[in-house]
Amino acid sequence: MHQDAHEFLNFLLNELVDILEKEDQAAKKEGGTSSPSEKTVNGPKNHQANGVQKEPLVTWVHKNFQGILTNETRCLRCETVTARDEAFFDLSLDIEQNSSITSCLKNFSSTETLNAEDKFFCDKCCSLQEAQKRMKIKKPPHILVIHLKRFKYIEQLGRYKKLSYRVVFPLELKLSNTVEDADSEYSLFAVVVHVGSGPNHGHYVSLVKSHNHWLFFDDENVEMIDESAVQTFFGSAQEYSSNTDHGYILFYESLCANKS
């Protein structure tokens, strides 16, 4: 049974939020109150037991990992744009052979046409219409977590297959096409690597940058590696390769956060 690192990351972040919210509620019952600055409208919606909605708590998890996506749909008949915001802790990107994080992000934000059976119901036209849809990053997070979708279900095989594609992830990443800030710059500081040829077995190791040095973590073994070694985890240029160590989850830190 494959234990997926991305699923564990989502579980961990959401579990931390639940724990922090329970601690906050317990503190309020003891007479303590949180400051208005600790509230936000962009966190996950919480409801009290009696059904009354309350403002969600902004935890350090939200402050560091949460960004906002906006889903824009434009009716091709009346040109009305419908925008819907949603919060995210990480971005899951489809990958292609011999590509880069930049190209994966461009594909993620590319325009999709909705037609035929996928027509969009336009409230202004009051009917199904052809439309164009795209996803944009409205508010980039302080820590950008990128999950590379290396496990794909292949219908012909009837099972999941690991994609060993070579996907270049740079040490410095610039986010373009965002709503709030056209130039959001990030620096890579950690990589979770999947070691193995298939989705049902394997091993995870990680690379972490600490005090300007890269460290390689493999269970209880920790060693210092050269920065240039990071590129050996980009993936394989050919489908069948002896190299099965592939970058799976990438952690980027905002350079703006460091400057402020």
Using one digit for the tens of pLDDT, what is the confidence trace for 161-209?
Answer: 889 999 999 999 988 766 665 678 999 999 999 998 887 788 999 999 9
Using one digit for the tens of pLDDT, what is the confidence trace for 24-39?
Answer: 888 888 775 544 444 4
| pLDDT at residue 217, as a whole number | 96
**∠222-209-199 over CA atoms, to 5°?**
70
The model carries a pTM of 0.83
Greatest Cα pair distance in the chain: 62
What CA–CA distance (Å, rounded) separates 260 from 25?
31
* Chain mean position to CA 204: 19
* Mean of all residue pLDDT scores within the chain: 85
Q: Which amino acid is at 205?
A: V
Taken in order of first residue, the domains within the chain and their CATH numbers are: 61-254 (3.90.70.10)
**∠206-212-216 over CA atoms, to 5°?**
20
Indicate whether 50 pLDDT > 80. no
Using one digit for the tens of pLDDT, what is the confidence trace for 80-125?
Answer: 999 999 999 999 999 999 999 999 999 998 889 999 898 999 999 9
Confidence of residue 156 (pLDDT cuts 50, 70, 90): confident
> Taking a C-beta distance cutoff of 8 angstroms, is the pair 196, 202 a contact?
yes
> Taking a C-beta distance cutoff of 8 angstroms, is the pair 146, 5 a contact?
no
